Copies of this chain bind each other. A is one copy, B any other.
């Protein structure tokens, strides 16, 4: 019928949005004990890999802008996880790096991905397909 395109069940956006929120909730029991929120966790994932990068670079990795990152990073600095330092090569940029405490947290976080995949009822192959499709969707956006 005319309005079928507006049915909730016909919107791809809806399960995408709902699943993303539910996954974040799934992380909470594992992130609370190490004192991270979900967004702080994905920031840490990048920093554990790259060691030091600017707010700008962090933002393009994570699809987040300075309006989100600035207060988040200030909080993480206050919590002793990271250091924020102006780049002397280009004073417009702020370089984010890990403190020793931030580096050390990696060993506590290492259990999390395994614990989380246990919460997800997709087979390895399905998770792989989902991963590819989501990245395809992201790729050309």
A141 to B131, CA, bound (A): 18
Asked if B22 contacts A138 (CB within 8 A), the reply is yes
Q: Of the candidates B10, B12, B63, B113, which one forms a contact with A22 in the assembled complex, judged by CB atoms under 8 Å apart?
A: B63
A41 to chain B, nearest CB (A): 9
A121-B139, A121-B140, A133-B130 given; A109·B16 CB < 8 A: no
Q: Of the candidates B110, B138, B141, which one forms a contact with A2 in the assembled complex, judged by CB atoms under 8 Å apart?
A: B110
Asked if A137 contacts B19 (CB within 8 A), the reply is yes
A13-B23, A116-B13 given; A48·B137 CB < 8 A: no
Does A126 sit within 8 A of B, measured CB to CB? Answer: yes
Does A45 sit within 8 A of B, measured CB to CB? Answer: yes
A48 to B141, CA, bound (A): 29
Does A78 sit within 8 A of B, measured CB to CB? Answer: no
Does A88 sit within 8 A of B, measured CB to CB? Answer: no
Asked if A17 contacts B15 (CB within 8 A), the reply is no
Closest to A26 in B: B141
Q: A13-B23, A133-B133 provided; 6 other pairs, C-beta below 8 A?
A: A8-B61, A10-B113, A15-B134, A16-B19, A122-B136, A126-B136
